[in-house]
Every structure is written in structure tokens, then in C-alpha cells.
């Protein structure tokens, strides 16, 4: 029931006399008007910044108050807040919080005292304890009363600026965030120097791109930034490095987080079992330092990925660029905001120049009049005049013969100013100095007119000066990098155990009295096969029914093309037996599939799951029936092509099979994997992104050497991070020597050493431990050639460059050997030349079985279900 009907009903139930006295007032129209007024007020006067100066009203009033109080010294923030209340119709708390936000952005306000910490989230001290004054930058770009439009304050007692004449894209530099009625805004902060450079490019008619830059630094992926418009998204990460095998260090955090919220999210992820952390230390002071100590058996690389996947070490930020233009909210991108702001700055510069031109012209006009008045002794013409009108007319008559060169007509105010010149000044008047002053004013006028005629060049020069005077120390803090997608199932810690009751057909984490299968996580999927040939993928749960007589249970890996299932099965009660090999890369969760054609009586005789495509040899025993002569034969799965999981397979036997036994373990029939290194995301991949490192089999390793002389070999895993600057990253060949040329700090000589990597699981330093020792060159060629460029000795001829065959220069020794001294003479440069060809440099041939894997991805059949819920993509 609406309000109006309720009022009518109550009125009808009252006595007639009382009804006659009451008047029913409809509030629907009033509510509509009031709500629109309120919404308009919140949008325009509280939550959304203006394009012209980038301020919300409260910030603008704070800045005006600071200008009112400015005397070059610090003022108590409480005093500034109190003064701002003359302009701002709200309480001191809101003004104080807004001022702290401005001060923490370290651009407009020079702060003193405890203003809080954006890294830790600590609040600022009370406003009576902290002080502030305007920064030099604010004084240069924010204020100019002559080009400021003013309006009455809320109580009519003072004048406040409608907008401040900010000549800089301040809104984009500081960012802004606000929630109004029916809309909100979230403009992210951008880099000071990049904004200036973009403004210059806009004035030059060039293209530019703008991306955020955060005071908390970190790393961000801007591929979906969408120019800050609605629908865009930024992925921002903490900068995590590995101090040692058991310690991770976070030195930079994502924007909008603090060390406290970050640590809290890590603790929660640890409690839920997503990651494993021993303990956390927060050593943050001026800079962030969070130490994460890991248990001994936990991979640092995998933990870094898990931190990004399950904690606030990676967050998504959705920008929403909304600003006030001409008293209306507009949704425009940050590039357009910069263009409009730069154009507005140009107009402000023009207005400033026009005002200066007018002022200089007025000075020139009066200086010229003053010279005429004194030089021609016109002041004597007024000695006989008895009235003020007579004095004015006498001066005017005296000036007329000499004013033809003036730029404008003489007014009565001009003549009045002449009468105010003191006798002392007339008596000391110097014609030459007066002319010099007029000449200087003419030069200034000409200069201003030149700037007005070349306004764009003047604006570019203005921005260049801003960059020169205020850009020091404002370089980009946030690194821009393309992020790789992290699959949560690949990095989650196996925080629970999976059990199976094969006979009854149940799997789950609560079946602790039954058979243990493997460790898993609560976000994993599991794949199950039963004896009747049924296959099913389902989520890990406490207890799930699959089907009786389970023969295989494992954690399911989406898009896994290297796990191959080898199966021999009977197709139906009286059907033939078939052999097949297949991978499972896509499936609909909780739907049952059959390894055959789902005929009643289907039975699996033999099953194996091979994580690297191994192909074993099995012995098949047939039942004695009729005149069968050969009751035993072998099947080599290496001879069976890998096809789609829906394929029927090859006929193994038309006769009943008694049993199948494993005869011989198999080797992988899959091709070696080609692995690339993507410099952009610092990761390995198999998608042909970046530099090809080679083809890798199961035990092959990557050789790594850093500029600091640390050498190691690792098994290539796609989750490994390579944040250090490696000068060698290639496939490791154990019999291939490594040649290193280094500067030995203690002896101050160059040394050469050649060695084989003997301990593949140990990271070793290949140069001496002296702090001044430096690695110069590293080669993995069999016969490297080094060129030495000698320094020219004083008074002697230049010694020619020398080429040295390093294989002949030094034999292969241990990795800890010092090596041989290269030369005793002074060297300016060392260069590795083209190596000498060697028979051992021939590319290795990869022997593949004739019946090796087809490109089975072409044969894998996708499920033909149309009404099923989609779970995994091929």
C-alpha cells in the first residue's frame, strides 16, 4: 500500500470534525525533487573531481586556505583545517582526512611530522601535532588570482575559487576516487614525468599512451587497462624475490594494499592449506620488507605463484574514469582527460600572457606620459590654475602635442596619476634612465607578443621547464610487464589426502580407513576409471560415488597431453577385445564416459596411466576354447598409435582373454618437448613464445650462469621464475665444457678457466670470492676464440689485437680451479669471436621410434554433448 492510500485510510477512520481540520499533503513530488537535488549535490560538490583543476571541492578549499595562510613557514594542520571551515560546510574530521590524503601524495603539500604510512596503513597523527606548507610545485602551477574565477562561499562571507587555475594534468598525477549517488569514479595515479611528456606529444600532434604508476611500486599488467574506462582492468602484483631456498622477500606491494592486509591474506591462505609458510617477518620501515620463511620441502618458485594465486600479492583494479565537465559528469578515458587538461593549460597560459601584456602596456603608457610630463615641464602649466578642473585641462592641453605615438587615448585617471608625482621625483628625473625603462618594457611587450603568436611552442617550453624543475626523483616506480596466467590447481599446496574404496566405488578425503591414493587439494579434480570401462572426472569432495570396482584414481590435469592411458578391453559381453592408447584433455565434469561403446558387459583386461607417454610390453593369455593353437602373445604399446579417447582402438583378439600380464616396462614414445624462454614474462613455455632453448627429454637440464658468476643447472619446469639477469641460459650438455674469463680482484689480473659441471644439483660460484672479482665473458663452445684489445702504452706503438684459441690456452680443470692468467699487460677490451668449428658441435639427432606419437591432438575427439554443462576447454 502506498503512502497516499495509507493517509486516506487513516483519515476516513477519524471523526468528521478532525477530518475537516487535517490537510493531506502528497510527498511524492517533494521526494523526487529533493532526491535529485541531493544526488546532484553529492556528485558535483563532494565525490567527483573537476576536469579544470583535478580537485574535489574539499581539496580545492584546503588548497585555497593554505594559500591564505602561506608565509613560507609550516602551519599546524589543525589551524589549516579550522581556516578551511570558513569555506567548507562540513566538519573538521572530513577536512583533516582529505588533507592527509593530499599530503600523502607528496606533490602539493610539504609535510612535517607523522603523516601516516601508505605502506603499512598506519594513520597520521592528530592534526594538532602535524604541520604543512605549500610545496614549490604547488606555488608554481596552482595559483594565479588574476585568472581565477571566484564565487561566494556557502555563507556569503568570503570568496572562494570556482576552480583553481592549475596548469598541469594534476587529476591524472594524483588520481581520484569517490562514490556518489548512482555513479562512482576511480582514476588511478600516473607518472609525473610521463604526463608531462604526453602533454608535449599532444601539443606536437604525436600519439601517446598513458599507464598508471603507483607510489607503492610493484608490477602491473596493463594489457586490459582500456585507457582507464569502464570495463578495463589492471592486474597488479607485489615484487617477490628469493633470498635463499627457504626465504622469500616482498619489497614492493600492490597499490591499494598495505603490509598488514597483505600479511593477513598470506596467513589466511596458509590456514586454508593453499600455501605452506613457516613464519612471516614484517621489517617494513621506510621501505617494504616482508620475509616469508618456508619449510624445507617447499618449492620457492611454486610458492611465489601460489602467493599470486591465493593472496593479495596479486589484485585486480577496475578503473572508472568519471569527471565533472561543465557541471556534468562525463565518462572519458585518461588520454582524453590529458588532452583536455593540456588544452586547458594552454588557454590558462594564454590568459596569463594577455594579462601580463596588458600590465606591461599600462606601465609603458604611464612611463611615456611621465617622461612627456616632466621632460616638457608641463607641471608648470598648472601653477596659475585655481580649480581642479582647470588643472586637469591644463595638463591635458600640455600633453596633446606629444602623444601621437601613444597606444591609447589619455584618460582623466592618467592625468590624476601625473598630478600625484612628487616634486622630489621630478627634480631627480633622469631622461636616459626613463628611456631605458621604456625600452625594457617594449622588449617585454615584444617577447609576450611573440609567445602569444607561438603559443604552442611557449606551452611546450613551459612543460619542459616543469619537468626540469620538478621532475627529479619522480621516475616511474611501477614496472610494466605482461603477466602469465597462473593455474591455481598447478600451484596449490596439496593440503589433504585422497582415499578410495575400490570395491564399493567411493573416493574422497573423508575415507581415512580405506586405501590412500595421493595428496591433493580441495580445488582439484580427480579422474577415475572402473572395471566396466567407465571414466569420470569429478571435484574432490569428502565422499563421492564413482562406481563399483574402481581400477584407477588420480588428480586430473586439464589439457594434459603427455599423460597417456594404455588400455585393453572387451567391448561388450560377447564382443572382441581391443587395444587403444589415448589422452584425456577435455571432458564434462561429472559425466560418465566409456573407453569403448558403452555396451553392457564391457570389461577392462589391462589398464595403465603413463605420465610421460611410456609404452610397455604386455603378455596376453587367451582362454582355451575350441581349436585355438596360440594361447599367448605379446602386445607392444609402442606400436599402437595414440588417438582420441572416443576411438574404438585396434583389435587385440577375437577370442576371450584370460588375463594380461606386464612383461617389460616401457619408455616414453612422446617427442622431446621444445621449450622456449619468454623474456617478457621471465618464464619457460611450450607455446613458441620467445627464444627456443632446445628439445628436452625427461632428465635434460638448463644451464644457467648469472653476471655475478653463479652457475647452476635445473630441470625445466614451466612454473620456474627467472627474475635474475642470466648471461647464459641454454640446454645443458654434460660433456660440453664451460669457459669463463674473469677479473681476479685480489691479483688484479684477468684469468681464464675451463671446466665441466660435475654437480648438477648444486649452485656454484665460478669466480673467486674477492669482492672486486668480476665475470667478464662466458662461452659454452667447444673451441672458443678470444680477442684481446691492448691499451696503448705512453710513448710506445699500439700493440696489435691478439686472438687466442682458449682450448689450446688452457685444459679442462675442476670448477673450483683458479685457471690460467690471461695476460700481464693492460687491456681495454675482451671480445669473444666466432668459435672454431668442431665435430662435437654437430646438432644432436633425436632418435624417435618409427611408430612414435602422431600429432594426436588432431585425432582427439571432442565430446559431442550439447546440453551438458561445460567444464574444460580443449
Catalytically active residues, by annotation: 129
Alpha-carbon distance 647 to 661, whole Å?
24
Rounded-to-integer distance, Cα 811 and Cα 458, Å: 68
Is residue 412 classed as helix, strand or coil in its secondary structure? helix
Edge-first strand listing for the sheet containing 314-317: 314-317, 234-237, 219-221, 479-480
The CB density around residue 518, as the number of other CB atoms within 10 Å, is 14
The alpha carbon of 852 is separated from its chain's Cα centroid by a whole number of angstroms, namely: 43
Cell output for 208: 601517446
Judge residue 562's burial from the number of C-beta atoms within 10 Å of its C-beta, 0-12 exposed, 13-18 middle, 19 or more buried.
middle
By C-alpha distance, which of 138, 175, 209, 149 is closest to 54? Answer: 175
Residue found under cell 606551452: 459
Q: Return the H-helix or E-strand segment holding 775.
A: strand 774-779
- Cα–Cα distance measured from residue 518 to residue 852, given in angstroms and rounded to the nearest whole number: 30
Task: Compute the distance between CA of residue 470 and CA of residue 476 in angstroms, rounded to an integer.
Answer: 14
Assign 3-class secondary structure to 299-352. CHHHHHHHHHHHCCCEEEECCECEEEECCEEEECCHHHHHHHHHHHHHHHHHHH
Which residue is listed with cell 595414440? 642
Q: Are the C-beta atoms of 135 and 109 separated by less than 8 Å?
A: yes
Closest C-alpha to 49, from 202, 190, 178 = 178
Pairing of strands 614-622, 657-668: antiparallel
Q: What is the dihedral of CA 638, 639, 644, 646, to 10 degrees?
A: -120
The three cell numbers of residue 700 are 635434460
**Residues 22, 27, 29, CA angle at the centre, nearest 5°?**
135
Amino acid at each position: 500500500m502506498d503512502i497516499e492510500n495509507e493517509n486516506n485510510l487513516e483519515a476516513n477512520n477519524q471523526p468528521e470534525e478532525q477530518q475537516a481540520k487535517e490537510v493531506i499533503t502528497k510527498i511524492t513530488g517533494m521526494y523526487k525533487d529533493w532526491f535529485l537535488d541531493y544526488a546532484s549535490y553529492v556528485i558535483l560538490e563532494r565525490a567527483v573531481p573537476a576536469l579544470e583543476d583535478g580537485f574535489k571541492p574539499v581539496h580545492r578549499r584546503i588548497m585555497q586556505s593554505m594559500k591564505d595562510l602561506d608565509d613560507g613557514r609550516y602551519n599546524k594542520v589543525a589551524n589549516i583545517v579550522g581556516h578551511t571551515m570558513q569555506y567548507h560546510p562540513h566538519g573538521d574530521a572530513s577536512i583533516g582526512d582529505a588533507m592527509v590524503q593530499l599530503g600523502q601524495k607528496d606533490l602539493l603539500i610539504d609535510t612535517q611530522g607523522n603523516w601516516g604510512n601508505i605502506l603499512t596503513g598506519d594513520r597520521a597523527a592528530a592534526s594538532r601535532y602535524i604541520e604543512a606548507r605549500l610545496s614549490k610545485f604547488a606555488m608554481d602551477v596552482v595559483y594565479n588570482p588574476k585568472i581565477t574565477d571566484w564565487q561566494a562561499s556557502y555563507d556569503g562571507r568570503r570568496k572562494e575559487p570556482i576552480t583553481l587555475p592549475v596548469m598541469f594534468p594534476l587529476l591524472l598525477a594524483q588520481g581520484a576516487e569517490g562514490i556518489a549517488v548512482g555513479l562512482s569514479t576511480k582514476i588511478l595515479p600516473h607518472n609525473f614525468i610521463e604526463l608531462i611528456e604526453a602533454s608535449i606529444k599532444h601539443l606536437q600532434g604525436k600519439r601517446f599512451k598513458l599507464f598508471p604508476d603507483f607510489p607503492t611500486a610493484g608490477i602491473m599488467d596493463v594489457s586490459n587497462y582500456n585507457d582507464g574506462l569502464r570495463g578495463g582492468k589492471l592486474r597488479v602484483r607485489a615484487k617477490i624475490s628469493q633470498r635463499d631456498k627457504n626465504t622469500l622477500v616482498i619489497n614492493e606491494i600492490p597499490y591499494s594494499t598495505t603490509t598488514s592486509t597483505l600479511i593477513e591474506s598470506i596467513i589466511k591462505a596458509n590456514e586454508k592449506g593453499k600455501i605452506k609458510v613457516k613464519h612471516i617477518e614484517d621489517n617494513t620501515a621506510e621501505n617494504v620488507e616482508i620475509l616469508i620463511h618456508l619449510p624445507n620441502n617447499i618449492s620457492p618458485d611454486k610458492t611465489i605463484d601460489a602467493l599470486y594465486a591465493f593472496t593479495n600479492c596479486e589484485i585486480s583494479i577496475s578503473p572508472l574514469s568519471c569527471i565533472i565537465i561543465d557541471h556534468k559528469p562525463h565518462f572519458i578515458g585518461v588520454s582524453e582527460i590529458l588532452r583536455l587538461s593540456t588544452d586547458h593549460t594552454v588557454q590558462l597560459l594564454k590568459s596569463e600572457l594577455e594579462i601580463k601584456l596588458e600590465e606591461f602596456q599600462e606601465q609603458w603608457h604611464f612611463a611615456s606620459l611621465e617622461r612627456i610630463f616632466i621632460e616638457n615641464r608641463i607641471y608648470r602649466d598648472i601653477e596659475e590654475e585655481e580649480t581642479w578642473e582647470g588643472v586637469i585641462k591644463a595638463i591635458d592641453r600640455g600633453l596633446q602635442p606629444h602623444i601621437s605615438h601613444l597606444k591609447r587615448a589619455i584618460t582623466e585617471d592618467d592625468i590624476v596619476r601625473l598630478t600625484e608625482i612628487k616634486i622630489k621625483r621630478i627634480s631627480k628625473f633622469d631622461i636616459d634612465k626613463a628611456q631605458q625603462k621604456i625600452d625594457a618594457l617594449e622588449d617585454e611587450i615584444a617577447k609576450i607578443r611573440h609567445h602569444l603568436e607561438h603559443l604552442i611552442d611557449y606551452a611546450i617550453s613551459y612543460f619542459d621547464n616543469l619537468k626540469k624543475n620538478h621532475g627529479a626523483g619522480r621516475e616511474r616506480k611501477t614496472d610494466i610487464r605482461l603477466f602469465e596466467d597462473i593455474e591455481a590447481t598447478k600451484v596449490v599446496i596439496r593440503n589433504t589426502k585422497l582415499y578410495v574404496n575400490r570395491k564399493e566405488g567411493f573416493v574422497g578425503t573423508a575415507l581415512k580407513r580405506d586405501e590412500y591414493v595421493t595428496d591433493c587439494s580441495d580445488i582439484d579434480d580427480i579422474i577415475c576409471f572402473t572395471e566396466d570401462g567407465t571414466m569420470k572426472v569429478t571435484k574432490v569432495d569428502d565422499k563421492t560415488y564413482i562406481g563399483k570396482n574402481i581400477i584407477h584414481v588420480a588428480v586430473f590435469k586439464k589439457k594434459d597431453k603427455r599423460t597417456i592411458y594404455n588400455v585393453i578391453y572387451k567391448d561388450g559381453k560377447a564382443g572382441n577385445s581391443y587395444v587403444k592408447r589415448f589422452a584425456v584433455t577435455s571432458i564434462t565434469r561429472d559425466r560418465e564416459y566409456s573407453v569403448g561403446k558403452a555396451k553392457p558387459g564391457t570389461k577392462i583386461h589391462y589398464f595403465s596411466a603413463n605420465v610421460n607417454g611410456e609404452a610397455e610390453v604386455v603378455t596376453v593369455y587367451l582362454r582355451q576354447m575350441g581349436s585355438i593353437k596360440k594361447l599367448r602373445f605379446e602386445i607392444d604399446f609402442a606400436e599402437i598409435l595414440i588417438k582420441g579417447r572416443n576411438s574404438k582402438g585396434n583389435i587385440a583378439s577375437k577370442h576371450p582373454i584370460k588375463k594380461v600380464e606386464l612383461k617389460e616396462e616401457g619408455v616414453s614414445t612422446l617427442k622431446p618437448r621444445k621449450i622456449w624462454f619468454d623474456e617478457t614474462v621471465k618464464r619457460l613455455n611450450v607455446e613458441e613464445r620467445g627464444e627456443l632453448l632446445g628439445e628436452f627429454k625427461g632428465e635434460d637440464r638448463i644451464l644457467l650462469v648469472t653476471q655475478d658468476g653463479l652457475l647452476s643447472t635445473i630441470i625445466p619446469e614451466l612454473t620456474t621464475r627467472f627474475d635474475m639477469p642470466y648471461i647464459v641460459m641454454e640446454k645443458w650438455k654434460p660433456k660440453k665444457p664451460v669457459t669463463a674469463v674473469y677479473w681476479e680482484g685480489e691479483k688484479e689480473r684477468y684469468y681464464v678457466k675451463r671446466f665441466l659441471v660435475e654437480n648438477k644439483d648444486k649452485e656454484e660460484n665460478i669466480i673467486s670470492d674477492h669482492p672486486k672479482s668480476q665475470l667478464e665473458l662466458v662461452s659454452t663452445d667447444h673451441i672458443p676464440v678470444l680477442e684481446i684489445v691492448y691499451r696503448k702504452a705512453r710513448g710506445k706503438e699500439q700493440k696489435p689485437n691478439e686472438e687466442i684459441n682458449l682450448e689450446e690456452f688452457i685444459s679442462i680443470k675442476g670448477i673450483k680451479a683458479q685457471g690460467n692468467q690471461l695476460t700481464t699487460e693492460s687491456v681495454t677490451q675482451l671480445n669473444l669471436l666466432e668459435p672454431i668449428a668442431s665435430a662435437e658441435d654437430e646438432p644432436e639427432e633425436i632418435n624417435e621410434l618409427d611408430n612414435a606419437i602422431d600429432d594426436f591432438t588432431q585425432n582427439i575427439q571432442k565430446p559431442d554433448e550439447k546440453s551438458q554443462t561445460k567444464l574444460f576447454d580443449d
